Amino acid sequence: MPSLSKRRVVVTGMGTVNPCGNTVNDTWKALVSGRSGISLIDRFDVSEYACKIAGQVKGFNPDDFIDRKEQKKMDIFIQYAMAASSEAWISAGLSDLNLTPDQKERFGVYIGSGIGGLDTIWAEASQFKGPRRISPFFIPSLIVNMASGSVGIRYGLKGPNSSVATACATGNHAIGDAFRLITHDYADLMIAGGSDSVINPLGVGGFAAMRALSTRNESPTTASRPFDKDRDGFVMGEGAGVLVLEERDHALARGANIHAEVLGYGMTGDAYHITSPSPDGDGGSRVMKLAMKDANITPQQVGYINMHGTSTPVGDQIECRAIHNVFGSHVESLYVSSTKSMHGHLLGAAGGLETIVTIKALETQIIPPTMNVENQDPNCNLNVTPNKSQPHKFSIALNNGFGFGGTNACLVLGKG
């Protein structure tokens, strides 16, 4: 039986593909300099769409990571997950490790996706010519857990292999669930994070129909503006963010470089509305409290929060309210920011990428900015690190992720 004692979990590898860069280092350089990856959509004709902008991954070549034959079996969200996992695996110093059978059974994968293979669904449906013409790879290409399955197959990992689809909280939940698998001794190492890609006519049209997207088409790089009074919706992004989580003694024994420690994890439900969070911020407040309780820390020990901060009029206000509810007067010395202002909202991959961003902030002691804050909303009265990165000494940070259906996740991260 697994031990019920809580083992310590550290981050030894990170990888990403996103609109601001196709590696962790390139992404971090872009974010601290305030460089946006948002532009006009060039993948399909957007002339009839209310929203014509998105954060598209640029310069991605799947040939660098996946055999041509295998690519035919993989939706782009799986390809992004494979690329991010490759960078994370190599950066964790695992590429030269000859895994024993016992190690393979103790290493697992937990990569989620908010939507899964919508590109594959759109492509197949738009050219449907009868049941006999459907590709045999159609279903394996679109199902959410195939990102985890494909990564596990690549590295021969036979430990826990699972996935999660909790909308925009997916990445946080996947990392948090993997963290718990290690703390309770079901695994020694987990590849965990999120991946999503739905910048196609159906995905953009669907979110636009909800009036969730920004229509600031004339100025793509300033369209995503969390906490700004004139924000009008989120900007869709795409990509993947993946971490290697490892039991601390296991990492130390092999001489791994430790980037950060995962200290705690919380999850709650709003039980309020299918898309809107509870106006009093109850779900967000409780999830941060639970995560900090799990980490055995006080609110006063937190120096930075990487907020969900999507740039929606209602969501940003409610998250700010939740932070005030939890941190009280400590908000005066608390730094927060939302890098969605530069890379857009990566949906199920948001938590993976933004956990990496939070870790880089801890490592460098630099708070990445919230860009495009020209007229800060008085209902978002926090130090949102407007328009320019700032140095800040801190040792503990939170990363929030909230999703449709009222699902919430919070991770507590500490310096390695």
Please answer whether residues 44 and 51 qualify as being in contact, where contact means their C-beta atoms are separated by less than 8 angstroms: no
Q: Which of 93, 106, 111 is nearest to 150 (CA)?
A: 111
The pairing of strands 396-403 and 390-391 is unpaired
Residue the block writes with tokens 């901060």: 309
Distance of alpha carbon 213 from alpha carbon 206, whole angstroms: 10
Establish whether 20 is a catalytic residue.
no
**In three state form, how does the secondary structure of 86-111 look?**
HHHHHHCCCCCCCCCHHHHHHEEEEE
Q: Catalytic: which of 173, 250, 259, 308?
A: 308
Q: Could you report how far apart the first and last alpha carbons of the chain are, in Å?
A: 30
Q: What would the DSSP string read from start to end of 149-213?
A: HHHHHHHT--S-EE----GGGHHHHHHHHHHHHHHTTS-SEEEEEEEE---SHHHHHHHHHTT-B
Establish whether 345 is a catalytic residue.
yes
Q: Catalytic: which of 320, 345, 380, 410?
A: 345
Q: Catalytic: which of 51, 168, 320, 380?
A: 168
Q: Which of 222, 229, 195 is nearest to 342 (CA)?
A: 222
Residues assigned a catalytic role: 168, 308, 345
